[in-house]
Structure 1
């Protein structure tokens, strides 16, 4: 059995993990910088959190993340790029295979529409028995659903 981690990168990062025993855990993690912190602290906390996930799972065999090609603004693009750079470097360091999955591919897989809204993705994940707290967690669960359904599942 493999352990698969799915991430929806951002200041509030959604995550979902299918563990080696087949159980699924998910949630969100906030990486907003504190009032007296520099902008790089969010990325240091992100890397530390990735280490925490890896230690808790004992191993991560595959990692999938939402590949965003269009952002609402410049700040969002910079923040996403920073998370992506740290994520891919961390995966390379830990020898974890990683793959970006386009937004439309994820939405089409879980809702049937590549341009589905946030509420449709949340509803789709609820119909699968999950209870995501927000769209970030729902997106991570959708990425995990895509990965397990189309990439050979959790074997």
Structure 2
């Protein structure tokens, strides 16, 4: 990417879950994962408070965030995963609304098709696609976030 960090708009891409994959572009692309697994003695809302604090840190260190894209999941493997996703999405959208940051979900099939050519690509194919683009994702969560970010940059010019 040839944008300078002075004129670049910061784009955040997220694969929401207990282990959230993230990728951010502020002229350069950085990515990773963040765990929001609750501790043994945590109350039910601590995961979401940690996520809120993490979003604030990302915004402070790499922002201001201009737009947020996240993986829009319609079907989950289990009830717990569905509840976690819903809670994280509610936290994210409320956080973004309070700051006037536009956000949108991107269907899973759209992301997979853009990254691999197949809308139902397995997790390993997403990791391989990220590696083919010279990224080194730690897992499929980070690979998905990278794919979302690249999709946003390449098809939406990052903005809404």
TM-score (norm 1): 0.96
Give the Å deviation of 1:58.
3.0
**How is 1:1-150 mapped onto 2 (pairs within 5 angstroms)?**
1-19=8-26, 22-150=27-155
The CA RMSD over aligned residues, in Å, is 0.9
Q: Name structure 2 gaps, 5 residues minimum.
A: 1-7
**Cα displacement string for residues 33-76 of structure 1 (whole angstroms, at most 9, x for unaligned residues):** 00011121000000000000000013111100000000001111
Give the Å deviation of 1:133.
0.3
What is the CA–CA distance in structure 2 between the aligned matches of 1:97 and 1:37, rounded to whole Å?
31
Question: Which runs of 4 or more aligned residues in structure 1 lie more than 3 Å from their structure 2 counterparts after TM superposition?
Answer: none
What is the CA–CA distance in structure 2 between the aligned matches of 1:40 and 1:2, rounded to whole Å?
31
What is the CA–CA distance in structure 2 between the aligned matches of 1:153 and 1:100, rounded to whole Å?
13
What is the CA–CA distance in structure 2 between the aligned matches of 1:23 and 1:105, rounded to whole Å?
24
TM-score (norm 2): 0.93
The question of whether the paired residues in 1 share the 8 Å contact of 2:11 and 2:65 is answered with: yes
Q: Aligned pairs, how many? A: 152
The question of whether the paired residues in 1 share the 8 Å contact of 2:67 and 2:158 is answered with: no
